[in-house]
Amino acid sequence: MTLPDPTPAAPATGGSTDTLTALEEVYAQIKRVRRDLRPSDRIVQDLEIDSLATLEILLGLEERFGVSLVDNPRAAGVTTVGDLVALLDELRAARPS
C-alpha cells in the first residue's frame, strides 16, 4: 500500500518550510530586515513590498531554486506568502531532475 503524496496539502498550509525559510532569507536581503513570514501575510500590504522589491525577490528566488517566476504568468496572481510558497513548491516539483 502506498501512502498519499503530502504535496497537495502544501498550498493550504503555506507550503514547505524550506521554501518559506528561503523566502524569509531573500526578503531579509532585499528589505534589510529579518521577519518571520506567515502564509497569510499579504505581500504588498503586510510586507510593504513595492514593485521593484517584488522583482528583486522573484529574481533572488529564481536564482536560488532554478525556476522561472518573472516570466511565469501565474506569478502575477500571487498575493500572499502562502501563494508564493505554493507556486515555488509546484515549480520545483515540476523541474526535470
Q: Is residue 34 part of a domain?
A: yes
Q: Which of 72, 52, 76 is nearest to 62 (CA)?
A: 72
What is the domain count for the chain? Answer: 1
pLDDT in tens, 25-73: 999 999 999 999 999 999 999 999 999 999 999 999 999 999 999 999 9
Q: Look at residue 3 and tell me if it is in a domain.
A: no
Evaluate if pTM is beyond 0.95.
Answer: no
Torsion angle, alpha carbons of 29, 31, 34, 39, to 10: -100
Residue 37 in domain:
yes
Q: Quick count: other Cβ atoms within 10 Å of Cβ 41?
A: 18
Determine what percent of the chain falls in helix, strand and coil, rounding each to the nearest 5.
60, 0, 40
Looking only at Cα atoms, what is the longest distance across the chain? 49
- CATH at 49: 1.10.1200.10
Report the residue count for the chain: 97
Determine the structural domain holding residue 33 and report its residue range.
Answer: 15-94
